[in-house]
Structure formats: C-alpha cells, structure tokens
Structure 1
C-alpha cells in the first residue's frame, strides 16, 4: 500500500536536497512503503517491514542507498549519556541494520547520538579531530547541513570515526578507496 505521506510531501519521490543526497522526513511511513516508492532497496525486511522511523537520507545511483536513518524522540524524552543506549540499540536493530544504512542517530532535538550502522554492536560515532558531532539537526540550516555532509563523507565505518579531512592524506585516500570498494561490493 502506497504511502500518502510520501506522495503528499515528496511528489515524484524527490526528497529535500542535502548536498548530493535526499532527505525524507516522515512519521507514518513503513519500511515496506519506502520500498514500494523505490526509496529503500527491494529485499525481504521480514519483521522490520512495518517499522517506522522519522528521517531517511539516501544517495541515488545505480541503486538507491540508505545513508542515514534517524529517530526523533518525543518531547517528553530527554536523552542523556546514561539512557541513550537503550534508544540507540532500538535504532540500530529495528531501522539501521535491516535497511543497511551507513549511519543512524537518535535525537531529542537538543542532543543527538550518532550510531555506526556497520558495527555489529552499538557503537557511538565520534570525530577524529575531537570536535562534537552535529547535535541540533535543523536541515534548513546550511551550517548544520554542511556538518552532516562532512560526517557522511568522512565517516570510516571500520573505526566508527569521522576522519579529519586532510586533502591528499593517506587516511583520506584509504577512506575513499574503502567507500568506493563498499559501493562496488556491499555486504
């Protein structure tokens, strides 16, 4: 069954531009409905097929690729360093792993915890340069969008780190080669 939410908010299945990616913000759309609309890879999601998440960032290419899946907690949930893990595990197991997304996050609009989608267990993503990860995710703010793009483009799923962007450095080249290889041979 098609998603009215996607049809009404994203005519032609075209999301909000976030660099070379597209963002879809939904609350009622299931994973299966995203598949029906061609916005997630067409495979058997088993028990996850009826799960709903709040944000999806995809890359279009030969095949659609889920890059980030986000879960925006209701205003009565305040995330802390102590409680974020229970929400993070849910995001990882019910949204990120089934879809094959590179990254996930859980946010209460003030604090955001980023999750390595390629890790076997819950792993918090951090930046190699020690700077904070994007916290307030306002996709209408160009500065925030630039930070999110930096995270996506420099994320190394093997280490769970957002690598420092050093033009021509060996870590930059290794990251690009790894990402290119993963594109050619996904899990």
Structure 2
C-alpha cells in the first residue's frame, strides 16, 4: 500500500500541468433512516420512523481533492458497464478543458468490462488507475460517502421517496456549500492498514 501512495504523489508531481486526479466509486443510497447514537431512557426507548428500504438511488461519483469538486451520475438505474460508460462521459465532460484525467477506482467488475475498455481506448485523455483489492483506505471517496450518509440518512426520515430523492440531488449538486467541512475531511492523508495473521 505504501508503494501505491508513493506512486500517487509521484504521478501528481510529474504530470502534465492541469492534469486532474479524481477518486471514484459507486454507492447505493437506500431510502431508509439509518439510526445513529443517542442518549435515551431505557425505560422509554425512542421509536424511529423507517421506510421499507426497497427504493434506492445508485450513485457513481468522482471526487477531486484539489478543487473539492464532485461530479456524479445518479439515478435508479443499476450500475453496470453501460452505466459506467455514461458516468465516464460525465467525468470527461466535466473536465473537458483539462489535458488529462486520472481516475482512481476499486476493482468492481463493471469498471473492467470489455465495452468499458474499448470506450477508454477511444478516449485516451481519461485513464483509470485501479487500487489494490480490499483497500478502501486508499480511496478518498469512501470518506466522502460517509460524509454524504451522515448528512442525508443518519437519523433522518423522509416519508416519501420523492422527497428523499430531491434531498439527495440537492446535496450532491451543491457540495460547494460544504467546502469548510470537506477541507478538513478530504485531506490526502492515506492510512496504511497492516494485516497480521
């Protein structure tokens, strides 16, 4: 993992000026109240309103730690190879004035599908860099997903799905309103996890 971190900073140091570095991944945000910690009288425990949890939004996002920008493709559609190409096109369009784009991702199979590989060959400006397996600590967007859940579903109840959906889009499309929080959260300090037998 240390080598991956060193490679990342070396790439940033030696890249063509204006190159954009992004961290990407998918997240499924369920229309459901996720309870957090609270103080309560054990004799009268709180009752939390919940939903069925059958509806969700599938988000493919890319976070830019340098500009604190977030671009995404969000909807009810399943995350598959075709959807990934739509997502990559959104990323490419968002940074169309940049000379090159490097997108760090995990090893989800839909990122490595043949049609995605073919599409990338036709769009050489965008390069995918895959992180080692089981290394969420190296993907900054994992912190961003926790931030999103904390603001949108932790101890929050939306009676109607359309309200939940509107809140999600409002939040994701106005990440600039949370710049101060993100400046301290989304720093490029990667934790090295040591696995012992």
Q: TM-score range by the shorter chain?
A: under 0.3
Pick the structure with more helix per residue: 2
Higher relative contact order (CA 8 A, sep 6+): 2
Give the TM-score of the pair, scaled to structure 2: 0.26
